[in-house]
C-alpha cells in the first residue's frame, strides 16, 4: 500500500481511541467479532467517515492528514486481518488506496475525493455482510497447491530474466491466486497467477519504472541492490517461522526497504523481516 503529518489533536485522540478499542473490548464484543469475516473494522471505518466529513467542509489539506491515520493503522493490522479473508481484505485495501490517491493528488478535487471515500465506506459496510455464509466460500491459502516459492519460480519462467519484487495470496472469484510484481529492463509488470497451476490468469499490466510513486521507486532501488532474492528470503522466513508464506515482498519499514514475509502457521500469522543485503532476520 502507498505510504503526512505529525499528529494533530483530533488525530491523536482518535488514535488513542483506536488503541483502547483494540485492548479494552468487552467479551461480548469479542464474540461478535468472531462472526465478522475480516475482523472488527469499526475503528478504520470511523477514520474514513471522519475524513469524508472533513472533505465536506472543504478542508482537503486536513482531510489528507486525517486519512494518514487510516493508512497507518490499516498497515499495522494487516498481519492480523488479512489472513482471515484475503479477498475481502484486498477489496478494502484497494478502496483505501483509491481514496489516498485522490487526497494526495497534486491538485485534489473535493468531488473525486468524496466519491472515493463514499466508495470506501461502502466497502467497509459490505465486508461484514454475509458473515454467516458457509465456511469455505472464499478461497484459502490451503487450497493453493503452489507455494509462494513455486509462484516465484513460475513468474520467473513467465517473465524471462525478471526479478520478482512482490507476491501475495489474493483469491479471484473464490479461486486461489497470487498477485505478482516483477521487474526487468526498466519495466514493472503486475499480474495474477493461478494458485493451482501457476499459469497467468490475465495479461497483467506493465509500466515504466519512471511512472512509479516515490515509495515504489525506493523499493525498486532496494531490489537492484539486494544480494538476497525474494525466493531466498521466503525460504529463510518459512524455516524460522515454521509455517507457510502467505505473501512476501519489499516494504518500507522505518525508512528502509526490507524483505517482509507474512507467515501463516497453525496458531497465528507473523511477519518476518529480512535484510536484503545480508539475509539476516531483523
The domain ranges of the chain are: 9-127, 141-274
Is 80 exceeded by the pLDDT of residue 139?
no
The answer to whether the Cα torsion of 108, 110, 111, 115 is positive or negative is positive
3-state secondary structure (DSSP) of residue 275: coil
What is the arithmetic mean of pLDDT over 47-62? 88
Q: Whole-angstrom Cα distance, residue 277 to residue 226?
A: 5
| DSSP one-letter string for 178-207 | EEEEEEETTEEEEEEEETTT--BSS--EEE
Is 70 exceeded by the pLDDT of residue 136?
no
Query: Between these two residues, 216 and 72, which has the higher pLDDT value?
Result: 72
CA 227 to the chain's CA centroid: 25
The model's pLDDT over 226-250, given as tens digits with 9 standing for 90+, comes to 999 999 999 999 998 888 888 899 8
Is 90 exceeded by the pLDDT of residue 59?
no
What is the arithmetic mean of pLDDT over 158-169? 90
Phi-psi category of 255—alpha, beta or left, where left has phi over 0 and alpha has psi -120 to 50? left
% pLDDT > 70, the chain: 78
The model's pLDDT over 169-198, given as tens digits with 9 standing for 90+, comes to 877 777 888 889 999 999 999 899 999 999
For 141-274, the fitting CATH number among 3.40.390.10, 3.65.10.10, 3.10.450.40, 3.30.465.10 is: 3.10.450.40
Does this model's pTM top 0.85? My answer is no
Beta carbons of 211 and 190 less than 8 angstroms apart: no
Phi-psi category of 232—alpha, beta or left, where left has phi over 0 and alpha has psi -120 to 50? alpha
| Residue 148 in grid coordinates | 509462494
Phi-psi category of 24—alpha, beta or left, where left has phi over 0 and alpha has psi -120 to 50? alpha
9 confidence band (pLDDT: 50, 70, 90): very low
Amino acid at each position: 500500500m502507498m505510504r503526512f503529518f505529525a499528529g494533530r489533536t483530533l488525530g491523536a485522540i482518535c488514535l488513542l481511541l483506536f488503541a483502547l478499542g483494540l485492548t479494552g473490548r468487552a467479551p461480548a464484543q469479542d464474540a461478535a467479532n468472531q462472526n465478522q469475516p475480516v475482523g472488527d473494522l469499526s475503528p478504520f471505518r470511523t477514520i474514513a467517515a471522519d475524513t469524508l466529513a472533513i472533505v465536506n467542509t472543504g478542508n482537503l489539506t486536513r482531510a489528507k492528514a486525517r486519512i494518514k491515520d487510516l493508512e497507518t493503522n490499516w498497515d499495522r493490522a494487516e498481519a492480523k486481518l488479512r489472513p482471515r479473508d484475503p479477498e475481502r481484505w484486498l477489496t478494502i485495501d484497494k478502496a483505501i488506496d483509491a481514496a489516498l490517491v485522490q487526497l494526495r493528488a497534486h491538485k485534489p478535487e473535493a468531488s473525486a475525493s468524496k466519491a472515493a471515500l463514499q466508495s470506501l465506506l461502502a466497502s467497509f459496510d459490505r465486508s461484514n455482510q454475509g458473515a454467516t455464509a458457509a465456511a469455505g466460500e472464499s478461497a484459502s491459502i490451503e487450497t493453493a497447491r503452489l507455494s509462494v516459492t513455486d509462484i516465484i519460480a513460475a513468474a520467473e519462467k513467465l517473465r524471462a530474466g525478471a526479478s520478482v519484487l512482490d507476491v501475495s495470496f489474493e483469491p479471484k472469484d473464490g479461486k486461489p491466486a497470487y498477485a505478482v510484481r516483477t521487474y526487468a529492463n526498466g519495466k514493472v509488470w503486475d499480474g495474477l497467477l493461478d494458485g493451482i497451476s501457476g499459469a497467468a490468469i490475465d495479461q497483467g499490466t506493465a509500466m515504466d519504472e519512471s511512472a512509479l510513486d516515490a515509495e515504489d521507486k525506493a523499493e525498486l532501488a532496494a531490489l537492484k541492490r539486494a544480494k538476497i532474492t525474494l525466493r531466498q528470503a521466503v525460504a529463510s522466513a518459512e524455516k524460522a517461522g515454521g509455517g507457510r508464506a502467505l505473501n512476501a515482498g519489499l516494504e518500507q519499514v522505518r525508512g528502509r526497504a526490507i524483505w517482509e514475509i507474512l507467515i501463516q502457521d497453525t496458531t497465528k500469522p507473523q511477519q518476518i523481516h529480512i535484510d536484503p543485503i545480508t539475509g539476516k532476520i531483523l
